[in-house]
Structure 1
């Protein structure tokens, strides 16, 4: 934001905006710092010359005191270039020096202004209060020629307050700029985090959908391909039926994959694609599984299936689909029971249960990601899902989904 105008900013502001500069050492003065320091030096010289001229016209001061005063003022001018490094020390040191040297008054004002810019108010209050308290003593010991005591105080006190107020205004302006910069950075960071979270959630949703859609189809392919491999002498009708199931499952899996890839490319769901399954599609799923050779019993006791919300029905469908897929892989030949019950206000209960398989069943590796995805689906809809071995050695998946 400020890369093209860094030379216009004070080094103190750049140190706040760029923390690496502070770790790498004290930042160098910018062009603006040099201009401001030179102007402060000229102001201090101008005030010193005016004070020296007034001292020369004062007949009550000895010549030696005038010379000492001017030497102190000249030496104090060099401290103007150190005001950024030690603002508090310079302001404290110039408080007694300005009491004994009129020509150092400009440097004292510059030091007080720098303290107000670079340090908190408590330091300004102590040093500024000390200067204010010493003003009456100063004008009592060194009265101004042609200016009464109260008149000198009436001029010096507002001048001192103006210097402090100006410095505090500059400090508050810098702090406001840094605060706005910090808020802008936080807003950018939060926006980036929100975008990353949205992308992550979208990827997780697509990954769950891909697993739920493709696992069912690919399992059918695996089962029937395995049957053809281990029973090459099967009747011609069975081979033809298994080949038809393989062809149809491969076609459906390819179509599902194309739709998901289309969503990834377009960045949003494709309205022209097939509608998402709901609870009404559960019977078609069971029929498809039966045609693939599974023994499936569907017990659907829902008072009003059309009234089930689309998101709840889709989740129930995916739970049944995953349960049938797992039963086909890990317990082939068993009779799977799918039970769906519920009513508005009571919720929708889904259960997929299979007994223990008979004989030796070849081990089919699984990552368990499907059940994890189902648990997340149920949780997102406000429900819950449980799964685990049954008492008879089988396996059961139970879920409850809200139906308000």
Structure 2
């Protein structure tokens, strides 16, 4: 049983207890008038009204009608039940119905039972106070409930929107990976096609089977390039500007990225172990994106801080760690969507690795990834 169910049951039990208490008070008051002469009819009327108020299907409009009729005759004996009706109608924003029920009951009571008439002995002052208090309390509770429902709806909307944005960030990162791998594969297939084309032009000096195989290889590489272009065109998002080749990480190195940050005035220290060629291309692309995101975040959130970059390309695991000390928020530091880290985590997870991002003490921040090399990558010397 969840919390909402428990809350509903508690509210229903509390309402039943209050209605039962008011019925008991009505019956006890019935004993005090005319020497208990009207005890049975008063109690019966109160019980019928209570059933109408407790059964959800009868709560509107049967309940208000029965309670109004009973109060019109019995007067102050059933006034508390009328207060419940006023409260319920105010909660449901049926203000006109609430005012109408109170007006009809009080007006018709001028012709009601004289012994319990509200207008006798100035009982109307207390009656008006009770009804007005119930009405105002109902308006307040109804407004609070609607406010809470609106806030809950807004929270749910924001939660769904955040999920959609996270998914969009993941999809965008997958598309970026596909585009980057297209650049890498297209470059290598172009080299294969180029070299095989050169060899085909000299096929007269080669054995016939070799020349035939070279021709097939050249044709296959050209077809693979065409297929790559078709796939990239099918996956390309409309209304987006393609990234210039000079800016793609497939043709750039992390050292160039660090040099650009230093030239822009950022304090960056970098240590590298191994050579980029020791890691798969997908790992090098991931390292580039991680360092790029870390440097951007440092400029936004810790301007003037010292950034330390450590990269290790050697098998069996590509390691990258970027830390920065505390600094002052830079331009755009107040805007923090977090979707860049979501994309990085998606990229690293797709490679079977793990990404850590979080505080490193004293206002510092650390972004680190560990990406295992595929089986078959040879180790070029032990790690230190």
* TM-score, structure 2 as length reference: 0.49
Structure number, greater radius of gyration? 1
